[in-house]
Structure 1
Amino acid sequence: MQLGSIFRKTRMLSGLSQEALAEQLYMPRSTISKVENNKMELKISDAIRWFQVTQAPEALAALLCGVDITTVVHTLSKLIGGFISYVA
């Protein structure tokens, strides 16, 4: 999976348009598009802000640790689902 698709997925899951995210990150919308299409890379500080704004800390942690993000999200979902079943 390429990084651009990860950035796009986190933006879309947060319900933000490219324009809305660009405003919150103080970037042009064209930069958001370039990042999502793997035509530009972000500085780590900008990537961190992206994941903060899109409320996707698990994606940031997975990237920094070199772990597949899909695996992390799937594992967290199972863990949380199991915890909810245990509490109920």
Structure 2
Amino acid sequence: MKFGSVLQACRERAGLSQEELAHQLNRTQSCVSKFEKDRKVPDIGTFMQWVQITNAPEVAVAFLYGMDGINIIHQLLPLIGGLILSLRF
């Protein structure tokens, strides 16, 4: 399953650089880049850490329920992002 763009969107929404996320995942920036470009597939532990660090549990749920990456980016992430902004103010 290809979902590098979803991982990248989660990271960017969390305001993290590849280097910052790599440090938190105990990986290299190159490894994070490979995940985001679908050149490498994260194991489930790394995926769940990514989801936790970027505060994107809805992404994990969407994948578990079979939602594809494009729908997550176009439908789910904007909704969650807007909800978070409205809760902050």
Which structure carries more relative contact order (alpha carbon 8 Å, separation 6+)?
A: 2
Unaligned runs of 5+ in 1: none
TM-score normalised by length of structure 1: 0.78
**Distance in 2 between residues matched to 1:77 and 1:21, nearest whole Å:** 19
**Distance in 1 between residues matched to 2:6 and 2:50, nearest whole Å:** 11
Of residues 67-76 and 3-12 in structure 1, the stretch that sits farther from structure 2 once superposed is 67-76
Paired residues, number: 79
RMSD: 2.0
Rg larger for: 1
Report sequence identity in percent: 34
For the pair 1:11 / 2:3, whether they are aligned, the reply is: no
Unaligned runs of 5+ in 2: none
| Distance apart, 1:65 and its partner CA | 1.3
Amino acid at match of 1:46: T
TM-score normalised by length of structure 2: 0.77
**Distance in 1 between residues matched to 2:44 and 2:61, nearest whole Å:** 12
Residues 39-84 of structure 1 show CA distances to partners (whole Å, capped at 9, x for unaligned) of 0000011100000000000011101111242444466679x6xxx8
Corresponding residue number in structure 2 for 1:45: 45
Of residues 63-72 and 7-16 in structure 1, the stretch that sits farther from structure 2 once superposed is 63-72
Corresponding residue number in structure 2 for 1:30: 30
